[in-house]
Amino acid sequence: MDNDEVLVTTMNDIPGYKIVAVYGEVFGLICRARNAFSNMGANLRTIFGGEVAGYTQLLSDSRQQAIDRLRLAAMEKGGNAVVAMRFDCNEIGNIMSEIAAYGTAVRIEKL
């Protein structure tokens, strides 16, 4: 099974499918930091306002990597889907962002 074949949804069930096995909680975790020059630029942006595009891209990429790791964790347990997926984000030491994608690994079959 390919990583892309693991369906991830925020729903508790999946229309058109039935859950035939539940494998339990899985998560994908990533911790990222920007370089010092990016942080200085972001600090200037807070003075003048507006989007900090570098951070937006970093967080978007980080969420995608967390989902990819979530899919791998589900596959390792035997699942082909993750239901009730959520994100949890935290800041570590004012210099790093931690992003966790978590949910329940399940095996689904088409109805």
Q: Along the 111 residues of the chain, how does pLDDT read in single tens digits?
A: 666 699 999 999 999 999 999 999 999 999 987 654 455 555 555 666 666 677 778 888 999 999 999 999 999 999 999 999 999 998 887 777 899 999 999 999 999
CATH of the domain at 79: 3.30.110.70
Domain span at 103: 3-110
Q: What is the pLDDT of residue 50?
A: 67
Ordered alpha helix ranges (H), 1-111: 36-48, 53-77
Give me the number of domains the chain comprises: 1
CA dist., res. 10 & res. 102, Å (int): 10
Q: Enter the pTM of the model.
A: 0.81
Place of tokens 């390792």: 76
What is residue 94's three-state secondary structure?
coil
Q: What is the pLDDT of residue 96?
A: 79
Strand 7-8 vs strand 17-33: parallel, antiparallel, or unpaired? unpaired
Q: What is the pLDDT of residue 18?
A: 97
CA dist., res. 39 & res. 84, Å (int): 34
Residue 6 CA neighbour count, 13 Å, CB half: 27
